[in-house]
Amino acid sequence: MKPEGNSFTDRGCPLCESRRSRQHVNVNRRYASNEYELVLWKCQDCGFVFLRNEIDIEYDGDYLEREAVITKGDPYAQFIARERVSGIARVVPPEPGKRFLDIGIGDGLLLHLAEELGYATYGLDINADGLRLARSTYGIRAELSLEPMGDAFPGTQFDVIHMNEVIEHVTDPMPLLNNCRKRLKEGGCLVIQTGNIDSVVSKIRGRSWAYIRPVHVSYFSTKTLLHAIKESGFKPIKWMTLDWRLQSVVSQAGRLLKHGQAKGGLKMMTLYLTSIAHGMRRSVVVYAT
């Protein structure tokens, strides 16, 4: 299956509809034993970077394997997901009846943790194999759907809508964000994590930045992501490179050291410390209401 709204059109900027775009970078990438030419354009008005040529990627079981979304037994993935759910719980406390929607559920780890905290959980994905994997791996009880956001869970309003590494796969992010706005309750929380094309690592790597891949069609920066969510009627609460807490990082690094994984512990600390300067690391995370 393909992401919602992914169709090739020779159109203007997907964020602001401006026709003043210029070619930004042109690279070749190998993916799933195919060679792709990726032509990225940059809007001269809002700065958004987007892929303009058509790329055909199947989101299926092979995709899950290729992208290594399997988190069972991966302490690093578990840590990241726990920090995310804790961060959300500080904004929207998990009381009974609070609805938590994860768009792009991976193997269901985040929904599993949200369930443990007591949220009523919902999951949306385009990959039927992913839904099966989430049920078998974590036994999640969430209501799951393969429908586009505009049609899924009709009549249901959510207290939390979460998208981790999803929006960069969507050719038309604005209809998706507008649908999220319609479905998020007043005072609810939207959380988005995606790559940051203005990050230091992107600037240093240039055309060889690993995030430039055939599966990624929308390349946000902190500026363009904030612009897009404001245009959809959201109010940003906070934005950062990583939403980890210092005390969690220290105790996780300590655990790794204790188990003879000094390299892993050092990596965690380095990631955290370099993320203090916004834009240093590859990602941007936005919490909005």
Residue 228 touching Zn ion (CB under 5 A): no
Least gap, CB of 14 to Zn ion (angstroms): 8
Handedness of CA 15, 19, 22, 28 (dihedral sign): positive
Nearer residue to Zn ion within complex by CB, 46 or 131: 46
The footprint of Zn ion on this chain (CB under 5 A) covers a number of residues equal to: 8
Q: What is the nearest approach in angstroms of Zn ion to the Cβ of residue 15?
A: 5
Find the binder of Zn ion among 3, 13, 36, 221 (CB under 5 A): 13
Q: Write down the residue that tokens 């159109």 correspond to.
A: 11
Stretch that binds Zn ion, among 12-20, 61-69, 100-108, 166-174 (CB under 5 A): 12-20
- The stretch among 13-21, 62-70, 80-88, 145-153 that binds Zn ion (CB under 5 A) is 13-21
User: In the 3-class helix/strand/coil scheme, how is 70-92 assigned residue by residue?
Assistant: CCCCCHHHHHHHHHHHHHHHHHC
Measured from the CB atom, the residue of 227 and 245 that comes closer to Zn ion is 227
- Min dist CB 241 to Zn ion, Å, is 24
Which residue among 46, 120, 170, 253 contacts Zn ion (CB under 5 A)? 46
- Amino acid 214 reads P
Contact present, 110 and 81 (Cβ < 8 Å): yes
Is residue 104 within 8 Å of 124, Cβ to Cβ? yes
Q: What is the nearest approach in angstroms of Zn ion to the Cβ of residue 221?
A: 12
48 touches Zn ion by CB under 5 A = yes
Looking at 16, 25, 70, 146, which residue binds Zn ion (CB under 5 A)?
Answer: 16
Among 1, 8, 9, 18, binds Zn ion (CB under 5 A): 18
The span of 39-47, 145-153, 173-181, 242-250 binding Zn ion (CB under 5 A) equals 39-47
Rule CB under 5 A: which residues touch Zn ion?
13, 15-16, 18, 43, 45-46, 48
